[in-house]
């Protein structure tokens, strides 16, 4: 006989702050910190446990049974950026270059205009490469934008497994 799951006696009780606005979220590439991109939107990487492993057998009576996988992966980052024509030169030197990429989350006291994080901004740093730089249609009366896709490798430059590093910052 199996033991059924027991319901929790309480609810999720988070502490700290949740993000109240997506402004200002920024990216930094270690191979070129002055790339000619201005972030409009950033979709930070998700964490994916993969599809479940089906562990059903002919001995199951009512339910298909599943098990979680052991390994996780980080999803790609998608961002939309304004760009200067010089971004083509930047991207030619960044596409497929294994490097550290950092996402700067909103909240905290980023020193505006200086490009310096005073330690209060939460960050997520990881090994990755730029997979695509894809300019959108140029249209009269609209800001030219480009889609940028970043793939997280979860390996350091030597090939050793290395996951992301989250720093909470003093403002979160």
Domain CATH number, residue 72: 2.30.110
- The pLDDT of residue 111: 45
Look up residue 92 and give its DSSP letter: H
In a domain, 92, yes or no: yes
In a domain, 6, yes or no: no
Q: How far apart are CA 153 and CA 125, in angstroms?
A: 12
- The pLDDT of residue 116: 61
- The pLDDT of residue 118: 63
In a domain, 12, yes or no: no
Distance of CA 83 to the CA centre of its chain: 21
Domain residue limits at 111: 26-50+59-167
Q: How far apart are CA 104 and CA 110, in angstroms?
A: 9
In a domain, 94, yes or no: yes
Angle at 161 between CA 157 and CA 167, to 5 degrees: 90
Q: How far apart are CA 170 and CA 16, in angstroms?
A: 11
- The pLDDT of residue 15: 78
How many folded domains does the chain comprise?
1
In a domain, 8, yes or no: no
- The pLDDT of residue 2: 78
Angle at 89 between CA 154 and CA 116, to 5 degrees: 60
- The pLDDT of residue 80: 98
- Biggest alpha carbon–alpha carbon distance for the chain: 70
The residue ranges of the chain whose pLDDT is under 70 are 1, 107-119, 171-172
Distance of CA 78 to the CA centre of its chain: 8
Residue 64, classified by CB atoms within 10 Å of its CB into exposed (0-12), middle (13-18) or buried (19+), is exposed
In a domain, 19, yes or no: no
In a domain, 156, yes or no: yes
In a domain, 20, yes or no: no
């Amino acid at each position: 006989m199996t033991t059924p799951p027991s319901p929790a006696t309480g609810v999720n009780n988070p502490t700290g702050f949740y993000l109240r606005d997506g402004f200002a979220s920024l990216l930094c590439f270690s191979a070129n910190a002055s790339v000619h991109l201005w972030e409009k939107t950033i979709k930070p990487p998700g964490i994916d446990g993969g599809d479940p492993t089906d562990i059903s057998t002919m001995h199951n009576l009512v339910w298909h049974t599943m098990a979680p996988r052991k390994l996780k992966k980080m999803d790609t980052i998608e961002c939309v950026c304004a760009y200067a024509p010089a971004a083509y030169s930047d991207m030619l030197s960044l596409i497929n270059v294994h490097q550290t990429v950092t996402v700067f989350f909103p909240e905290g006291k980023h020193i505006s205009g200086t490009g310096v994080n005073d330690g209060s901004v939460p960050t997520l740093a990881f090994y990755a490469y730029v997979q695509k730089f894809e300019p959108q249609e140029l249209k009269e009366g609209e800001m030219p934008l480009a889609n940028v896709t970043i793939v997280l490798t979860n390996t350091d430059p030597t090939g050793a497994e290395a996951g992301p590093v989250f720093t909470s910052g003093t403002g979160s």
